[in-house]
């Protein structure tokens, strides 16, 4: 079975959990028998963690010509073809020249480089909408040039690409919802984003949600038929020996860590409030907020206002090894997210033998037993849980003992098997519906 | 002829309030008064009052043929006095009939028998006083918290002067033996041990209103038939159920009260089965053999062991921290602290910390907490505050041991003085005898 998968980021070029989850799932799928995954990202950097995955950058695909497969996939022929509804240009001058001609309605102008390829930043910058659109254009080319059985698109950024690929190939589309606009904004949704998400979910043959919490959002807020929405939980990669290495702590104080984007969705202010409560009662503890985001300045100010800056540290965004180093140094990990579709980081913390506190408003709370669960807004309960984990050693001991056990049961391979099952069902239906000639 | 002993276990855990770490040292108000009052009032109306009046009516009508026993920990009696004094009154009325026996036990419904023998003794003594205040009786038969029993616990109870004890007739301790006989303790054979008939008891307390059960519907005739058929040569059947069985676990509309009413009537009419109180059983029957119980048994779970209360790290820690305070408590004179000490020992606090049902999230029917961890955190916060209050005690912990030694010394000296007095008396008599004669 060949899967054409569209994502937006891939490790190590990640800004959050989406890239980690895509990598884990793809790797899990590559272990499934006779499964081939082609993973498309807007921009391939060349240093991605590939293992057995075929990674394709949309910036490597020329859009002013076309690959045509003849016979097996090894023999390819390059055909120069200009699609009727696409007008590639290389410079503003050329754009104006093209503009002066007359075109059919719906013709799209797109800037390409000398090789006829579209440039992508692959980030979440100001030109995001343009990149999403361009990504979809490239997706059409890829879908025409390759043979595959199913299309799988991760999150709204890639939904237009998935839809284009579906239109071009007629193959079934699965969209994977790692988060919704409601999670990211707390209900204050951007209508453009919502429209893209909704179109993707409505067009798709199947919608995969990362938790029942997210599944509920998809059903209730996007009006998708419950029978078309399935929950497949994320998992966590086991730690490598290198990552398991214990790190020596330079201080004798306890460390409580928040790790994630410092945005509304992650509830950083509740962490700071709880920290202030704990610091009133005990002194030998430090709080760390690891990550960056649009609320960082506010958070620094809030910490200053509460007078806890001498015990409260901001590290900025952590990458790669630094993540594990930070987790290993921690005595307690806190994820007070206001709305978290899944949340892989607590699982990583548990693997590093760190007890975790998670908000009840997170998908991962549905599958974890050995974690303290609090409502994100209940800073008293959060502070109480932090204090207890630091002061009553038996509790931390119990969590460490069972945490490893619990996380080791959450394997990407299992998630991949569930996804494979969904593929198979869709393909079966497909063959049933296709009239036999 | 076969006797039936009905034992009702009456216990309600005291609910603790949400007590945060920043409350430590600021106030000592640990109890959720609203929840406690609501629960006790509700149980009184559903169960305790109707069941007590049913028993009272039957005792009066049947000329003393009906005999029952109650095990009510002192803390539960305190809750009754506080929130439902009419329940206390109805128990006093039952006691006055002379047909109702009150059993010894732990005052706090505590795990002291396995955690701290010294506290166990003082708990039992407190309970004895409470029973005697309520009923004027001196208990002779002991029923430990959750029916926990082992050879050593039995021996301790025998040393306190009890003649018998009731425990769970767990399959792994009985083996091929039947629970329908009287046994005796393996260390001190003078302590007789009655075995709870698990199946017949659970038929009532668990399965009565379960319509998927093969025995449903359970009628008094059918139940009496099972008692007759239980063990042809059996001498005594002990049925111990939570008192909440009547009206709470099985609501009145399930017919549980009518069942009890009719069952009592049928037994008193029958030729071969009669009611007998634990005290009578122990006086009347001879033990058929020793019973060996190395590891404590209880009435809980499939394993019938202590794993519900002391099965994980947090329960172990909470128990250890609690009984670290036992020694300083011996020297406490503050009645408020003593009251809290009793309430904090209740086994339920530890049950709420059980993670046994994992991986499914533990759902304890009675637990007011969302998770065992919350239960632990709350309890430990309270315990921390409690131990701070102990530290404020004018006596510092390091002098307790010294004080303990002084007490012992004093006792020894008193004994010595007594011996000397005896000797002096003897010598005087000795002296006087020849004198008066000569």
- Which structure tokens are listed for A197? 């998400």
**Tokens 């391939």 map to which residue?**
A44
Give the 3-state secondary structure of chain A: CEEEEECCCECCECCCHHHHHHHHHHHHHHCCCCCEEEEEECCCCCCCCCCCCEEEEHHHCECCCEEEECCCCCCEEEECCCCCCEEEECCHHHHHHHHHCCCCCCCEEEECCCCCECCCCCCCCCCHHHHHHHHHHHHHHHHHHCCCCEEEEECHHHHHHHHHHHHHHCCCEEEEECCCHHHHHCCCCCHHHHHHHHHHHHHCCEEEECCHHHHHHHHHHHCCCHHHEEECCCCCCCCCHHHHCCCCCCCCCEEEEEECCCCHHHCHHHHHHHHHHHHHHCCCEEEEEEECCCCHHHHHHHHHHCCCHHHEEEEECCCCHHHHHHHHHCCEEEECCCCECCCCHHHHHHHCCCCEEEECCEHHHHCCCCCEEECCCCHHHHHHHHHHHHHCHHHHHHHHHHHHHHHHCCCHHHHHHHHHHHHHHHHHHHHHHCCCC
Residue A355 domain-assigned (yes or no): yes
Task: Say what the pLDDT of residue B360 is.
Answer: 41
B30-53 residue pLDDT tens: 999 999 999 999 999 999 999 999
**How far is the C-alpha of A339 from the C-alpha of A335, rounded, in Å?**
10
Tokens of residue B74, six digits: 């002192």
* Residue B92 pLDDT exceeds 90: yes
Same domain, A304 and A385: yes
Query: Does one domain contain both A387 and A363?
Result: yes
ipTM over 0.90: no
Average pLDDT over residues B147-157: 96
**Does residue A291 lie in a domain region?**
yes
Closest chain A C-alpha to B293 CA, distance in angstroms: 30
What residues in B contact A372, CB-CB < 8 Å?
371, 373-374, 377
Of A372, A373, A398, Cβ closest to residue B313: A398
Chain centroid offset of residue B66 CA: 22
Put simply, the answer to whether B355 touches A369 (Cβ < 8 Å) is yes
Residues A22 and A148 in one domain: yes
Question: Which H, E and C letters describe B87-132, residue by residue?
Answer: HHHHHHHHHHCCCEEECECCCCCECHHHHCHHHHHHHHHHHHHHHH
Q: Please check the confidence at residue B151 and state whether its pLDDT lies above 50.
A: yes
Compute the nearest-CA separation of A391 from chain B (Å).
10
Tokens representing B8 are 């009702």
User: Would residue A103 count as lying in a domain?
Assistant: no
CATH number for the domain spanning A207: value is: 3.40.50.2000
Does A248 lie in the same domain as A136?
no
* Side-chain-side CA neighbours of residue A233 (13 Å): 18
Mutation target for A interface from B373, B376, B387, B388: give the one with most A CBs within 10 A: B373
* Residues A399 and A428 grouped into a single domain: no
Residues A333 and A357 in one domain: yes
Domain identity same for A166 and A45: yes
Give the pLDDT confidence score for residue A112 in this predicted structure.
79
Q: How many structural domains are present in chain A?
A: 2
Q: Which of A369, A383, A394 sits opposite B316 (nearest CB)?
A: A394
User: A-chain residues within 8 Å CB-CB of B377?
Assistant: 372, 384-385, 388, 392, 395
Rounded mean pLDDT of chain B? 90
Q: How far apart are CA A100 and CA A108, in angstroms?
A: 14
Is the pLDDT at B224 greater than 80? The verdict is yes
CB proximity B25 to A under 8 Å: no
pLDDT (tens, 9 = 90+) of chain A, 437 residues, equals: 899 999 998 887 877 778 889 989 998 998 888 888 999 999 888 777 666 678 888 888 877 665 554 444 444 444 444 555 677 777 788 788 877 777 776 677 778 777 778 888 877 777 888 889 989 988 988 888 888 999 999 999 999 999 999 999 999 999 999 999 999 888 889 999 999 999 999 999 999 999 999 999 999 999 999 999 999 999 988 877 666 666 677 778 999 999 998 999 999 999 999 999 999 999 999 999 999 999 999 999 999 999 999 999 999 988 778 888 899 999 999 999 999 999 999 999 999 899 999 999 999 999 999 999 999 999 999 999 999 999 999 999 999 999 888 998 899 999 999 999 999 999 988 777 765 54
Best A367, A375, A384 member to test B by mutation, with max B CBs in 10 Å, is A384
Closest by alpha carbon to B156, among B109, B104, B118, B115? B118
Could you tell me if A369 and A390 lie in one domain? yes
With CB atoms and an 8 Å threshold, state whether B24 touches A281. Answer: yes
Q: Is A287 in the same domain as A368?
A: yes
Structural tokens at position A260: 């994630």
Chain B residues with beta carbon closer than 8 angstroms to that of A394? 313-314, 316-318, 376
Q: Domain residues of chain B, as ranges?
A: 2-291
Architecture of the domain spanning B2-291: Alpha-Beta Barrel (3.20)
Q: Are A326 and A256 in contact (CB under 8 A)?
A: no
pLDDT score at B362? 44
Q: How, if at all, do strands A36-41 and A2-6 pair?
A: parallel
pLDDT tens figures, B8-28: 999 988 999 999 999 999 999
Q: Which residues of A222-233 are buried (b: 16+ CB within 10 A; e: fewer)?
A: bebeeeebbbbb
Q: Which residues of A touch B (CB under 8 A)?
A: 277-278, 280-281, 369-370, 372-373, 380, 383-385, 387-388, 391-395, 397-398, 401-402, 406
User: What pLDDT was estimated at residue A50?
Assistant: 64
Which domain covers residue A392, as residue numbers? 241-408
Query: Is residue A118 within 8 Å of A137, Cβ to Cβ?
Result: yes
pLDDT at B358: 43
Task: Summarize pLDDT for B266-281 with one digit per residue, the tens.
Answer: 999 999 999 999 999 9
Residues A262 and A363 grouped into a single domain: yes
A274 close to A243: Cβ distance less than 8 angstroms? no
B435 interfacial to chain A (CB closer than 8 Å)? no
pLDDT in tens, B195-222: 999 999 999 999 999 999 999 899 999 9
- Asked if A203 and A290 sit in the same domain, the reply is no
Q: Do A301 and A380 belong to one domain?
A: yes
Let me know if residue A105 belongs to a domain.
Answer: no
Query: Mind telling me how many Å the CA of A179 is from chain B's nearest CA?
Result: 26
């Amino acid at each position: 079975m060949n899967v054409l998968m569209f994502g937006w980021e891939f490790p190590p070029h990640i800004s959050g959990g989406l890239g980690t989850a895509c990598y884990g799932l793809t790797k899990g799928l590559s272990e499934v028998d006779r499964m081939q995954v082609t993973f498309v990202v807007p921009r391939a950097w060349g240093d991605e963690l590939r293992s057995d995955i075929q990674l394709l950058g949309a910036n490597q695909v020329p859009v002013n010509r076309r690959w045509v497969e003849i016979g097996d996939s090894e023999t390819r022929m390059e055909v120069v073809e200009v699609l009727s509804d696409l007008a590639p240009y290389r410079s503003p001058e050329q754009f104006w020249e093209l503009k002066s001609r007359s075109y059919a309605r719906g013709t799209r102008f797109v800037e390409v480089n000398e090789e006829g390829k579209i440039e992508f930043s692959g980030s979440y910058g100001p030109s995001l909408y343009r990149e999403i659109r361009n990504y979809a254009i490239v997706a059409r080319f890829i879908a025409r040039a390759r043979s595959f059985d199913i299309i799988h698109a991760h999150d709204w950024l890639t939904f237009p690409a998935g839809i284009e690929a579906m239109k071009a190939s007629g193959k079934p589309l699965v969209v994977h919802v790692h988060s919704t606009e409601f999670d990211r904004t707390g209900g204050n949704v951007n209508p453009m984003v919502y429209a893209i998400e909704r179109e993707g979910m409505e067009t798709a043959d199947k919608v995969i949600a990362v938790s029942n919490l997210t599944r509920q959002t998809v059903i209730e807020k996007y009006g998708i038929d419950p029978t078309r929405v399935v929950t497949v939980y994320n998992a966590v990669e086991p730690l490598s020996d290198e990552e398991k290495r214990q790190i020596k702590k330079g201080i004798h104080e306890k460390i409580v860590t928040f790790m994630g984007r410092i945005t509304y969705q992650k509830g950083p202010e509740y962490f700071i409030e709880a920290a202030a409560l704990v610091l009133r009662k005990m002194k030998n503890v430090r709080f760390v907020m690891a990550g960056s985001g649009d609320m960082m300045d506010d958070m620094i100010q809030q910490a200053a206002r509460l007078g806890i800056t001498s015990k409260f540290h901001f590290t900025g965004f952590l990458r790669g090894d630094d993540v594990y180093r930070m987790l290993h140094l921690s005595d307690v990990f806190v994820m007070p997210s206001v709305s978290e579709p899944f949340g892989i980081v607590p699982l990583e913390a548990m693997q590093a033998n760190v007890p975790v506190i998670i908000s009840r408003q997170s998908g991962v709370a549905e599958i974890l037993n050995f974690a303290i669960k609090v409502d994100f807004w209940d800073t008293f309960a959060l502070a109480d849980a932090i204090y207890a984990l630091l002061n009553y050693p038996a509790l931390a001991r119990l969590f460490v003992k069972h945490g490893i056990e619990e996380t080791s049961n959450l394997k990407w391979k299992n998630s991949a098997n569930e996804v494979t099952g969904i593929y198979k069902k869709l393909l079966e239906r497909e063959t049933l519906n296709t009239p036999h000639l | 002829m076969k006797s039936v002993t009905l034992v009702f276990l009456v216990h309600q855990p005291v609910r603790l309030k949400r007590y945060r770490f920043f409350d430590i040292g600021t106030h000592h108000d640990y109890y959720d008064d609203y929840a406690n009052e609501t629960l006790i009032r509700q149980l009184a109306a559903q169960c305790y009052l109707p069941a007590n009046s049913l028993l009272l009516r039957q005792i009066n009508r049947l000329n003393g043929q009906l005999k029952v026993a109650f095990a009510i920990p002192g803390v539960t009696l305190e809750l009754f006095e506080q929130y439902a004094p009419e329940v206390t009154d109805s128990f006093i009325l039952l006691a006055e009939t002379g047909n109702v026996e009150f059993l010894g036990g732990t005052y706090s419904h505590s795990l002291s028998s396995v955690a701290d023998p010294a506290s166990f003794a003082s708990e039992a003594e407190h309970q004895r006083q409470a029973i005697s205040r309520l009923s004027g009786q001196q208990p002779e038969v002991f029923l430990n918290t959750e029916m926990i029993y082992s050879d050593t616990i039995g021996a301790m109870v025998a040393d306190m002067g009890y003649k018998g004890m009731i425990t769970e007739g767990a399959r792994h301790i009985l083996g091929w033996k039947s629970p329908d006989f009287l046994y005796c303790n393996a260390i001190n054979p003078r302590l007789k041990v009655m075995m709870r008939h698990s199946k017949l008891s659970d038929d009532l307390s668990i399965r009565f209103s379960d319509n998927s059960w093969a025995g449903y519907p359970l009628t008094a005739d059918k139940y009496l038939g099972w008692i007759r058929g239980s063990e042809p040569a059996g001498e005594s059947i002990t049925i111990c159920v939570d008192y909440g069985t009547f009206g709470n676990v099985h609501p009145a509309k399930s017919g549980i009260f009518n069942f009890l009413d009719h069952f009592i009537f049928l037994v008193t009419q029958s030729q071969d089965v009669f009611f007998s109180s634990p005290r009578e059983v122990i006086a009347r029957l001879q033990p058929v053999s020793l019973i060996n119980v190395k590891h404590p048994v209880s009435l809980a779970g499939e394993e019938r062991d202590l794993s519900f209360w002391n099965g994980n790290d947090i329960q172990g820690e909470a128990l250890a921290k609690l009984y670290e305070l036992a020694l300083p408590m011996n020297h406490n004179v503050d009645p408020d602290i003593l009251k809290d000490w009793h309430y904090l020992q209740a086994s339920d606090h530890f049950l709420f910390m059980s993670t046994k049902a994992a991986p499914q999230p533990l759902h304890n029917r009675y637990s007011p907490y969302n998770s065992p961890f919350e239960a632990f955190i709350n309890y430990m916060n309270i315990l921390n505050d409690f131990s701070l209050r102990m530290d404020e005690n004018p006596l510092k912990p390091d002098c307790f041991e010294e004080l303990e030694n002084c007490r012992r010394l004093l006792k020894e000296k008193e004994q010595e003085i007594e011996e000397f007095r005896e000797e002096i008396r003897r010598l005087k008599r000795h002296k006087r005898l020849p004198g008066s004669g000569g």
